[in-house]
């Protein structure tokens, strides 16, 4: 099914990087030998957004736990470290994302979070190469490609898709919010994703819960048949208008024709 979904995305959405399968791995689960670990195998630590970038740009299967991650905010949100007052008081937001600590505290309170040690790793791989059962899928693309995906997601039931944004910790929006709600999320790449994940200004993303593979494929096929395409076709059935003096050529051709 993952291969079939990847083929449908390649055909109808044409993302510029690998669509990812993502799993939250528990303590008692064993990672396969082909899964790279940044701290052990690559000898550096990463942010979670950077993990997704490595998987989608390099095509690697990769997993990160507490020893691999050096982003304190992600360590907190994903439950790899305990949430402490230094985080919840808003100090990490104040002066950067919010004017005051109380405003920052309100932001931190709304960050999606896993409980402490609920999971041990975040695992990601290109859909067609994953050797694990995913909890969700993550697809980066430009705004037109994400719009194309969104129409497919809404094809069966209609309505609107609702997502929330804060400009920070989009890794929590991708994994935690998607798993908690069981609903697709449009992802506005956060500041850190742009700095450390090197996500470009023309990129957005969508996170889609696992279990919706057939529905998504049907949505892509159905909306394609309905005329929703990517690349978006431009309307070209019109007569251009030109500077007035260009039309003197037509007058000249008419005069030349009259002479013959």
- Exposure of 8 in the CB half-sphere (CA atoms within 13 A): 20
C-alpha pair distances (Å), 215 with each of 157, 161, 188: 10, 15, 24
Threshold 0.75, pTM exceeds: yes
CA distance 234 to 241: 18
DSSP code for 121: E
8, pLDDT greater than 80 = yes
Give the whole-number percent of the chain exceeding pLDDT 90: 97
Could you report the per-residue pLDDT of 93-126, keeping only the tens digit for each? 999 999 999 999 999 999 999 999 999 999 999 9
Mean pLDDT of 194-199: 97
Sheet containing strand 20-25, strands side by side:
62-64, 121-126, 20-25, 136-141, 204-209, 185-187
Residue 221 neighbours by CB distance under 10 Å = 15
Q: What is the DSSP string of 183-240?
A: S-EEE---HHHHHTS---TT-EEEEEETT-HHHHHHHHHHHHHTT--SSPPPP--S--
The predicted-structure confidence for 167-179, as pLDDT tens digits, reads as follows 999 999 999 999 9
């Amino acid at each position: 099914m993952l291969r079939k979904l990847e083929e449908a995305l390649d055909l109808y959405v044409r993302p510029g990087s690998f669509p990812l399968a993502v799993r939250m791995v528990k303590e008692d689960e064993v990672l396969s030998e082909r899964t790279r670990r940044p701290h052990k195998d690559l000898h550096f630590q990463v942010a979670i957004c950077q993990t997704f970038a490595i998987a989608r740009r390099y095509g690697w299967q990769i997993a990160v736990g507490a020893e691999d991650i050096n982003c304190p905010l992600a360590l907190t949100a994903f439950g790899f470290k305990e949430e402490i007052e230094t985080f919840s008081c808003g100090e990490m937001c104040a002066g950067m994302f919010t004017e005051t600590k109380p405003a920052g505290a309100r932001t931190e309170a709304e960050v999606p979070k896993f409980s402490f040690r609920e999971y041990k790793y975040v695992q990601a791989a290109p859909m067609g190469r994953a050797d694990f059962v995913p909890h969700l899928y993550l697809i980066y693309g430009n705004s037109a490609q994400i719009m194309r995906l969104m129409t497919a997601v809404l094809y069966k039931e209609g309505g609107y898709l609702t997502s929330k944004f804060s400009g920070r910790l989009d890794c929590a929006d991708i994994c935690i919010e998607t798993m908690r709600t069981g609903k697709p999320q449009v992802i506005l790449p956060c500041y850190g994703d742009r700095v450390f994940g090197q996500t470009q200004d023309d990129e957005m993303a969508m996170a889609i819960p696992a279990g919706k593979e057939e529905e998504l494929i049907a949505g892509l096929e159905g909306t394609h048949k309905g005329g929703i395409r990517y690349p978006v076709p431009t309307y070209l059935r019109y007569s251009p208008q030109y500077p007035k003096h260009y039309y003197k050529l037509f007058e000249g051709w008419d005069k030349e024709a009259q002479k013959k």
